[in-house]
A and B are shown apart, each in its own frame.
Chain A
């Protein structure tokens, strides 16, 4: 199913997001909550503007982990995160999500590694305790 290949260079990436990408994610995920598409609705519930789905941010961030294990999604055994910040996406803007992964732990017996992923936007961390366990 997999080789032992890992690519540490893949653990760093910038993922762009704009309103069109959020509409695409809403359609792909089925989460049509208007706070992710409509600034009026977002502001009416106290948000600064349209925000990305937390699950978009998690999914976009975790792709560095899939890339790290040679692009084999089946080697990503588990992943977890807390949602601690917001990715605000103004109309007409392209916002950059900066993603960095670090190998935190290697379990030689199990043949796994734990990757800690940091995702930030405008210098602010938007995910907390985001980790994935991979078959290394």
Chain B
């Protein structure tokens, strides 16, 4: 079943709130082998001018993928998860994510196209803080492999 092109332009209700903890940030940094003390040591982060430990540049994927699940699991979208491979990912940080943040994500389906028999779904998640201020924009393209591959 191909991806449903009618889902392009769709916006989903806000997901979350996601409360970001020191432990989550440290575990994410450790799994990546990240070296910065600012991911683990509140004192080191405060010396850099932050209220608490700061997330690595790709940490927002943890929250964005929970938002993206709304379309991936939506039966009407026609996305066969067993056939999904990751094509592209990008993050724009309006400010860094810091432990203690309470973030909400709004998922937008920006584009759906067919290429070489595969479906390409481009999404955008806008993460905002408790005050509604923008924090991170996460864009992702997944490729749903065609039946012949």
Taking beta carbons and an 8 Å cutoff, which residues of A are in contact with B? Answer: 1-2, 15-17, 21, 24-25, 27-31, 45, 54-56, 58-60, 62-63, 65-67, 71-74, 76-83, 132
Name the residue among B31, B62, B90, B95 with the largest chain A CB count within 10 angstroms: B31
Chain B interface size range: 35 or more
Tell me which residues across on chain B come within 8 A of A74, comparing CB atoms: 48-50, 54, 93, 95-96
Q: Given A31-B65, A45-B82, A79-B90, do A59 and B30 touch, yes or no (CB 8 Å)?
A: no
State the majority secondary structure of interface residues on B: mixed
Q: Given A21-B31, A28-B27, A28-B28, do A79 and B86 touch, yes or no (CB 8 Å)?
A: no
Tell me which residues across on chain A come within 8 A of B4, comparing CB atoms: none
Contact of B48 among A2, A25, A27, A58 (CB under 8 A): A2
A56–B31 touching, CB < 8 Å: yes
B36–A55 touching, CB < 8 Å: no
Q: Given A15-B33, A16-B33, A63-B34, do A73 and B57 touch, yes or no (CB 8 Å)?
A: yes
Tell me which residues across on chain A come within 8 A of B54, comparing CB atoms: 72-74
Taking beta carbons and an 8 Å cutoff, which residues of B are in contact with A? Answer: 24, 27-28, 30-39, 44, 48-50, 54-59, 61-62, 65-66, 82, 85-93, 95-96
Q: What CA separation (Å) do A14 and B48 show in the bound complex?
A: 26
Residue of A with least CB distance to B37? A71
Tell me which residues across on chain B come within 8 A of A65, comparing CB atoms: 57
B62–A28 touching, CB < 8 Å: yes
Tell me which residues across on chain B come within 8 A of A132, comparing CB atoms: 57
Q: Given A30-B65, A62-B56, do A54 and B48 touch, yes or no (CB 8 Å)?
A: no
Residue of B with least CB distance to A58? B58
Tell me which residues across on chain B come within 8 A of A83, comparing CB atoms: 85-89
Q: What CA separation (Å) do A17 and B34 show in the bound complex?
A: 12
Tell me which residues across on chain B come within 8 A of A80, comparing CB atoms: 88-91
Q: What CA separation (Å) do A53 and B49 show in the bound complex?
A: 32
